[in-house]
Amino acid sequence: MVFLPLHHFHALKSAPSKLSRDFYARSTLVVARQLIGMHLVHEHAGVRRVGRIVETEAYLGPKDLAAHSARGKTERNATLFGAPGHAYVYFIYGFWHCFNVVTREAGVPQAVLVRALEPVEGISDKTWGPGLLCRAMQIDRSLNGTDLLGQRLWIERAPGRLRGPKVARATRIGVDYAGPWAQRLWRFYAVDSPYVSTVSAAARRRAG
């Protein structure tokens, strides 16, 4: 039997762990809640960018009228109908990209939108909003369909964190057109983070 020195044990215990396929292949609401506090990592052209996820929204299509899959499968949303643990990146308003993670089993078009990040490494731009965080993380449409278990874009457990953040839930943002579906409490956020998209600019300045 081989015994590791105590400091080696602590290092192994605190090392980041990339999320598995099984993590994503579960209830979308559970995944949306448990992504809070995880680290989103993008490595490209020798640059590593890392942000702590502090806000998410769940989309439970096709029945959810706020989801992109509510009207069926199209060329744009085809990634949603594939295997869990892949990136669904779309372009809106002719300017912004939005990053989502595909959940559930293949054929069930559900996903979690990442709405806000807290900068950890390699980020200097604003990250409190889905479009802003994609710009800061250099995530665009070219990453649509990327396997999140690969070596370019992934999500991992934050190293050294024994407890997750305190999480609250609220209605989703910008989906009033979805009628009663807009009232679902399917947005999750870290209570203690000034990087949540709904935090006021004054509160963000005080925290900084």
The predicted pLDDT at position 161 comes to 67
Asked if the structure places residue 97 within a domain, the reply is: yes
pLDDT of 159 over the 70 cut = yes
Query: Is 88 part of any domain?
Result: yes
Burial of 101 (0-12, 13-18, 19+ CB in 10 A): buried
- CATH of residue 99's domain is 3.10.300.10
- Predicted structure pTM score: 0.91
| Residue 185 pLDDT greater than 70, yes or no | yes
Average pLDDT for the chain: 92
Within a domain: 5 = no
Domain-located, residue 11 = no
HSE of 1, CA atoms in CB hemisphere, 13 A: 1
Establish if 120 belongs to a structural domain: yes
Of 55, 30, 26, 25, nearest in space to 40 by CA: 55
Q: Under a CB-based contact definition with an 8 Å cutoff, are residues 37 and 95 in contact? A: no
Would residue 180 count as lying in a domain? yes
pLDDT for 4 beyond 70 = no
Adjacent-strand bridge partners of 89 = 99
Rg (CA), the chain: 17
Q: What's residue 1's pLDDT?
A: 38
Model pLDDT, residue 208? 65
Question: Would you say residue 121 lies in a domain?
Answer: yes
Q: Domain of 197? A: 16-207
10 domain residue, yes or no: no
Domain count of the fold of the chain: 1
Query: 126 pLDDT band (50/70/90 cuts)?
Result: very high
Measured distance CA(99)–CA(88) in Å, rounded: 6
